[in-house]
Structure 1
Amino acid sequence: MSNNVEAILNQLRGVIANGDSEGVGVWLADLINEPNNEAVNDAIRELGRIDASLIVYLTRFIAYNRAVATAYPLLEDLLFEQILASPDMLVEILSSSSDVNEIAYYVHCIEALALESATLGLETKLAGVSDESLLISMLDAIAKIGFCHNSQSLADYLYASNRDIIAAAIGALGSIGSHDAVQLLSDRMGTDSELDRLILDQFAEIQDQFCIEKLSETLASHITHVRNYGKAKLAEMGAKAIPVIIENLGSDDTDLVVHTLNVLGDIFDESAVKPIKNLLHNHPADANIRFAAYESLGRLPSEKIALALAEGLNDKDDNVRLAASRAINNNYSRMLGVGVKNLLHSAVFDSEKIIAAIVESESDNIFLDLLVEEEIRDALFTYIREQAHSDVVKFFNVILAKNDRGDLLSFIQPEQQPEQKTKALVYAVDDSRMILNIYRSALHKLGYEFKLFEFPETALKNIEEDKPAFVFTDMNMPLISGIDLTRKIRETHSADELPIVMVTTQSESDSKNDALAAGVSEVIGKPFGADALKQAIERNYKPN
């Protein structure tokens, strides 16, 4: 150690012993400015032998000279050692300080050391801080530590005028993760889609029983973005969410049951099969529930659902039969094949409607298995040839060719029809491919030209070029909801120029009011058929 550095070190010992804060700052600055870095580091090591009051001087010095901690990491290491040895001293100087720079550095130390014992001091100090950047730093420190003594002390920051403060408070309460903290976050939801997503992200991160229940509650929300994002988070969570959300299947709230079934299908875990089967065995009166149940079963891996699926082919609702057919197709087995053939041979059941469901749902496994039954095969071919849309005909052409049944291709080719004037172009937007198949069948029967979109953003990209005359859209879709889609379209097209009808299972008046406020011309319910679409178009479309 050089003589000059040794002299500075002796001076520091003296001013520290005398409690001369200003003198300590002067001599520390002299020490750091010495050209011999190795000697300075040796002196810093020697400073560690001084009593704990060094914390007071070092924190204040570094608070105003933050670059020093970068140039001489040993200095901050020394400070951290001192703080860990006497954490109460840091809390004491935090409580007595009113200087923003000093407080900011004290908070940095607390966060860097994840000093849980200092959180009470942080919570107390929060109430007296008005500097917004400092508030955010303090909330971030609490988030890093993941603990506070009283979650309620952070509640007011959830309603601050500064969105960054709100986001920091959400992060802090989410990191704390107690029931009280989670409840505060839950109470905050419903007014801002971006902040609501941050809150739901916290619930999904915590993943305890209480948070999964909170996510499950979003399925009953009348706020579209809350409901859709909650569904997405539950689906991402996977099988862990199933024991909680299957409780919803016993609810009298049709919308809640339908949304729960959607999530169970998205999770794709066999443990969901039995509760859905039990639901179907109770013969729910609402066709939307039956449709959602069969659609979910069609996406779940299971060999134990033969009876439930076969019964669905005889459902009184066309849409439900399509969903049941697709579910059978995706889980096809010899037992299911026997059940389908028995239904088609029986005089009790409407075989024409079952044939229509098999074809319109593009159930290729069922179709191929039925080719050995001449009477059934002829009925399938007749429907494809005379009633199916050209896309469906092409689909079964490919299926026959791929399975070495090219000898049958001529039997499903439609007869040449005189060219007819096509009606206006209609868009149909829904994230369910099964629903899009239903649109295809219905709009084809009505004679409309149409385009089907599984992703709303694709529809938005094509509107200016295609210039559709009418739009049908689902309400509940991920990323871009039907309400969001409507708002975007209304930026460039009035209701007179482009009518939009929302087609949804959602029965709550709030959701319908939100849709109407966004600019939809009408809201109609699922399930739907060609007649419902025809009437909606006639009510809202006024051709030039």
Structure 2
Amino acid sequence: MDLNPEHLTQEIRDNIASGDALKSRLVLDHLAMVDRTWQNRVLFELSRGKPDFTIPLLNHLLTTQPDLCAGLPVVRETLISHLVAYPDMLLRFLGDPTIGDRSILLQTAGELRCEESVPVLMEYLSDCKDTLIIRQIIETLGLIGSAQAVNSLTDYLYSADRALILAATQALGQVGSPTAMHRLAERMGTDVELDLTILSIFADVQDTVSMEKLSDALRSHHAHMRIYAKQELERIGNKAVPVLIERLKDDDEDLLVHVLNVLGEIGDESAVAPVRKLLDAMPKNPNVRFAAYETLSCLPLRKGVYTLTAGLSDPEDHVCTAAARAIDKNYNELLGAGIRNLIRGGGPEARHIVKILVNAQVDNIFIGLAEDEEFQHLAMVYLPHAHKDVREHYAAQLRSHGMTEFAARITSGRDEVGRPKICAVDDSRMILNIYKATLHELGYEPVLFEFPASALDWLMKEKPLMVFTDLNMPEVSGTQLTERLRLRYSPAELPVVMVTTQSDSQDHEAARAAGVNDILIKPFKAESLKAAIDKFKKH
């Protein structure tokens, strides 16, 4: 049916003049039947009407003919300009139940961040039964971000409808007030996916409450939660340091290890004194001591570095190795003199310290001591039997410093071929160095991976004697790595041993459910590694 556009335009003029909204709607329902020029003329006439008459009609047009309005941006622009000029109209029509579809008005209230509309929206929310509309109201309250809405939004954190739970979670995150963050924290603990969403909100908000809750997630029973929290705290960087330092006062040893790891990754100098204070208290757990020295190896130490040499006498080799790396990072003549004093006399402790230094691949220390005859003598007890990579590495360092004779002595060791391969996966290069030295000493060829994805690629092509894997690794956890391996290899075909600092039973249960053959608690010694290998060697 052809419409006379002039008649249509005159009709809208007459309806506006008489205030006949019903007939005006009928005119607008036929707007698509005239060309764009006449459409714009009709809309121009409509825009000249009184706001309380025009706004509902523009809303009607936008909600009933969205495709038409997509090509006529003037419709939405006119509505928004009216609502900006007359904000009381927005409140009036948002609360008007006679307006059938208020979705455009809701969207506009959110876009305009109209805080005055919050009481109206909360009342609308309490009366509404339509889930889709409830969700849109929640999203609008989130966009506005008013703390007035926290209680209303909190109710939907416990809804039976998951979409509403997620909408309320995001909305509270947009509000971002301390109370909103507390409410989100209280919701955590029953839904892992939701917990990750809440953690991401904490990472974005970064207020005091959020930072505390994010750091508290480092003690989670779920590995992927801890990993995510660590990554976000590292991303936040220096702003997270004060909260993390406060966590160093905690008694939870697993938490301390994770906090120290994050502080090391961030590398802020303000963490030096608190980490040293922790070490001065001589924590009983060697994993805490290891993590503390590992952290110090990542931090700039401007004074008191000589105290690091005490770590070389720790009863645990892992801790000694971490201390050696910290010393190497901050090496100076004073530290060199301290180490020379420790190895003087060549007794058992001196030999142990030199063995640690050799296996730790600490270039600055090694070159700093290389001209000392006593050090050379002790080093040559171990270097000829060290892994080929270690010998070649030190030889190259010595040659670059003109010590060719010592370099030649190092490379004279015999390489053993045909050793069974054992794969080790850990995101700590320091731990990988320990694996290299220990597995080589036990008669195996270590195949080492810092990144689990690379390990999986290799393991899909080659099958070693067995696999040792860390639990807490970014991107792919040890549990996830095991799950993927079990798609190809049975536990009998390829034994997997989880090596972790975590003592949490839930972590262990998850690891066993994923298909690990055994769990070994760090720090490991050559004896415990050998026992684990021998246990599954028959397979």
Question: C-alpha distance in 1, partners of 2:394/2:52?
Answer: 83
**Residue 461 (structure 1) aligns with:** 457
Given candidates 461, 479, 499, the residue that maps to 2:475 is 479
Given candidates 504, 507, 521, the residue that maps to 1:511 is 507
Go from structure 1 to structure 2 and tell me whether the alpha carbon gap of 1:360 and 1:347 turns closer, same or farther (over 3 Å shift): closer
The C-alpha deviation readout for 1:417-445, integer Å capped at 9, x for no partner, is 6x57533x321111101111111111111
Check if 1:14 corresponds to 2:13: no
**Residue 110 (structure 1) aligns with:** 109
Which residues in structure 2 correspond to 1:64-83 (within 5 Å)?
64-83=64-83
Go from structure 1 to structure 2 and tell me whether the alpha carbon gap of 1:36 and 1:245 turns closer, same or farther (over 3 Å shift): closer
| Deviation of the 1:192 alpha carbon | 4.7
The C-alpha deviation readout for 1:357-394, integer Å capped at 9, x for no partner, is 111110000111102211212222332113x1111112
**Residue 358 (structure 2) aligns with:** 359
The C-alpha deviation readout for 1:256-282, integer Å capped at 9, x for no partner, is 111110010011111111111111112
AA aligned opposite 2:482:
T
**Residue 245 (structure 1) aligns with:** 244
Contact 2:424–2:447 (CA under 8 A) maintained in structure 1 = yes
**Residue 332 (structure 2) aligns with:** 333
| Deviation of the 1:160 alpha carbon | 5.5
| Deviation of the 1:200 alpha carbon | 1.3
Check if 1:435 corresponds to 2:431: yes
Question: C-alpha distance in 2, partners of 1:405/1:135?
Answer: 77
Question: C-alpha distance in 2, partners of 1:373/1:138?
Answer: 76
Question: C-alpha distance in 2, partners of 1:429/1:505?
Answer: 14
| Deviation of the 1:49 alpha carbon | 4.8
Q: Structure 2-normalised TM-score? A: 0.91
Contact 2:141–2:149 (CA under 8 A) maintained in structure 1 = no
| Deviation of the 1:56 alpha carbon | 2.1
**Residue 492 (structure 1) aligns with:** 488
| Deviation of the 1:504 alpha carbon | 1.1
Which residues in structure 2 correspond to 1:133-212 (within 5 Å)?
133-147=132-146, 149-155=148-154, 157-158=156-157, 164-212=163-211
| Deviation of the 1:222 alpha carbon | 1.6
Go from structure 1 to structure 2 and tell me whether the alpha carbon gap of 1:270 and 1:186 turns closer, same or farther (over 3 Å shift): same
Question: Which consecutive unaligned segments of at least 5 residues does structure 2 have?
Answer: none
RMSD: 2.7
Contact 2:287–2:501 (CA under 8 A) maintained in structure 1 = yes
AA aligned opposite 1:535:
A
Question: C-alpha distance in 1, partners of 2:252/2:180?
Answer: 28
| Deviation of the 1:105 alpha carbon | 1.9
**Residue 422 (structure 1) aligns with:** 419
Which residues in structure 2 correspond to 1:523-538 (within 5 Å)?
523-538=519-534
Contact 2:308–2:326 (CA under 8 A) maintained in structure 1 = yes
| Deviation of the 1:511 alpha carbon | 1.9
Which 10-residue stretch deviates more, 73-82 or 149-158?
Answer: 149-158
Contact 1:111–1:142 (CA under 8 A) maintained in structure 2 = yes
Which 10-residue stretch deviates more, 209-218 or 171-180?
Answer: 171-180
Go from structure 1 to structure 2 and tell me whether the alpha carbon gap of 1:137 and 1:305 turns closer, same or farther (over 3 Å shift): farther
| Deviation of the 1:52 alpha carbon | 2.5
**Residue 222 (structure 2) aligns with:** 223
2:460 counterpart SS class: helix
Which 10-residue stretch deviates more, 185-194 or 375-384?
Answer: 185-194
| Deviation of the 1:497 alpha carbon | 2.0
**Residue 121 (structure 1) aligns with:** 120
Given candidates 397, 400, 410, the residue that maps to 1:399 is 397
Go from structure 1 to structure 2 and tell me whether the alpha carbon gap of 1:43 and 1:218 turns closer, same or farther (over 3 Å shift): closer
Question: C-alpha distance in 1, partners of 2:96/2:448?
Answer: 66
Which residues in structure 2 correspond to 1:27-38 (within 5 Å)?
27-29=27-29, 34-35=34-35, 37=37
Question: C-alpha distance in 1, partners of 2:394/2:167?
Answer: 56
Contact 2:118–2:148 (CA under 8 A) maintained in structure 1 = yes
**Residue 256 (structure 1) aligns with:** 255
Go from structure 1 to structure 2 and tell me whether the alpha carbon gap of 1:52 and 1:320 turns closer, same or farther (over 3 Å shift): same
Question: C-alpha distance in 2, partners of 1:359/1:99?
Answer: 80
The C-alpha deviation readout for 1:137-172, integer Å capped at 9, x for no partner, is 433333322225232433454456665544433221
2:248 counterpart SS class: helix
| Deviation of the 1:75 alpha carbon | 2.8
Number of aligned residue pairs: 535
Contact 2:512–2:518 (CA under 8 A) maintained in structure 1 = yes
1:426 counterpart SS class: strand
| Deviation of the 1:299 alpha carbon | 0.9
Check if 1:449 corresponds to 2:445: yes
Go from structure 1 to structure 2 and tell me whether the alpha carbon gap of 1:5 and 1:541 turns closer, same or farther (over 3 Å shift): same
Which 10-residue stretch deviates more, 329-338 or 27-36?
Answer: 27-36
1:428 counterpart SS class: strand
AA aligned opposite 2:419:
T
The C-alpha deviation readout for 1:273-328, integer Å capped at 9, x for no partner, is 11111111122222111100000110112222413311111212111111111111
The C-alpha deviation readout for 1:14-72, integer Å capped at 9, x for no partner, is 34x2xx33212123345675547388358626734524332222212221122444333
Question: Which consecutive unaligned segments of at least 5 residues does structure 1 have?
Answer: none
The C-alpha deviation readout for 1:223-263, integer Å capped at 9, x for no partner, is 21111111111111111111111112122111111111001
Go from structure 1 to structure 2 and tell me whether the alpha carbon gap of 1:347 and 1:361 turns closer, same or farther (over 3 Å shift): closer
| Deviation of the 1:472 alpha carbon | 1.0
Question: C-alpha distance in 2, partners of 1:264/1:381?
Answer: 37
AA aligned opposite 2:278:
L
AA aligned opposite 2:13:
N
